[in-house]
A = this chain, B = another copy of it.
Amino acid sequence: MIRAGIVGGTGYTGVELLRLLAKHEGVELKAITSRGDAGTRVSDMFPSLRGRVDMEFVSPSAEALANCDVVFFATPNGIAMKEARALLDAGIRVIDLAADFRIRDVAVWEKWYGMQHASPELLDDAVYGLPEVNRDRIAKAKLVANPGCYPTAVQLGFLPLVEAGLIDVDHLIADAKSGVSGAGKKAEIGFLFSESSDNFKAYGVAGHRHLPEIRQGLSIAAKREVGLTFVPHLTPLIRGIHATLYARLTKDADLQQLFEIRYREEPFVDVMPSGSHPETRSVRGANVCRIAVHKPQGSDTVVVLSVIDNLVKGAAGQAVQNMNIMFGLPEASGIDIVPILP
């Protein structure tokens, strides 16, 4: 029985971790911390967990987490980098759902995240937790940087093409649309129902923090620096990311076959039949990325459609998948959920 702790369990990735871990047969939840809500019963904050999670939030502290085998950070950026070291030294494995350990180049990280990195020395040991790329390294990792939601959808969509060297990697375009839960449980005007319902907009066109993360992953796959235009949009869904990816083909190939072979062994990537249009609701609540590849009108532009649930394969589900890999559990434990539709 893996003993797990969660730091910062009051946000959306936190409650999603709780939903998944509450039914994970190989995991015992030992502690959930919250600086602001210590003493509150988890099920008072999240009535959906009544009868499921019989715990209180506790103050973050070393003792609270001392008996854990693994600790998930479901915190804002900048927390895990301060607290991971002590846990790792105590032999506790760490999975950070925030961005602290995603970027290998500390200067790039500091520029995009606007703060000094508190533990750059950990970056070398941190493994980027995209199982479809790094499964073997994740299995041995002490510290996993769980990928961002956009980066998961965009990388899984582009990887087969980039790895096969079939496209012009200097001019990749990722037009991505996210549900509002991707913004987290933050009391900001822009994410009010009255502001974001019945509305659609792009944001962060000048530069979004997920841009360097995607670029890093694709550059590793391409074995050279790639060029990427990344435009995120806010769409009135609660959950779901739809990435529409565009690239210029430089070689001919059977793209459908390429994708099917690349992900043949992957339990959580579903390459749909030729001509498909994956819907975000087809993965709602589930740890799946569904992908379709198109070459419209016989042009030399390839279009890849990639959908995930941003809170599952884009966050908490992928974190549990990483935990399963790290501890040698069946990879689908606790995340073998059928999507909820309608």
Which A residues fall within an 8 A CB radius of B? 12, 15, 19, 22-23, 46-52, 171, 173, 175, 177, 179-181, 183, 185-189, 191-203, 205-207, 211, 227, 229-231, 233, 235-240, 242, 244, 246, 248, 270, 272, 275-286, 290, 294, 296-297, 299, 301, 303, 305, 307, 311, 336, 338-342
Known contacts A196-B193, A203-B277, A229-B246; decide if A48 and B338 are in contact (CB<8 Å).
yes
- 19 other contacts beyond A191-B192, A202-B277, A285-B340, with CB at 8 A cut-off? A47-B278, A47-B282, A48-B281, A48-B338, A179-B194, A180-B194, A186-B192, A192-B192, A193-B197, A198-B237, A198-B281, A199-B279, A206-B275, A206-B296, A206-B297, A207-B296, A230-B296, A231-B244, A239-B342
State the CA gap A288–B200 with chains docked (Å). Answer: 16
Q: Which single member of B51, B201, B248, B338 contacts A242 (CB below 8 Å)?
A: B201
State the CA gap A207–B290 with chains docked (Å). Answer: 21
- The residues of B that contact A272 with a CB separation of less than 8 Å are 47, 50
Q: Which single member of B181, B244, B279, B294 contacts A342 (CB below 8 Å)?
A: B181
- Inter-subunit contact A303/B177 (CB<8 Å): no
- Inter-subunit contact B185/A187 (CB<8 Å): no
- Inter-subunit contact B193/A290 (CB<8 Å): no
What's the nearest-Cβ distance from chain B to residue A166, in Å?
A: 16
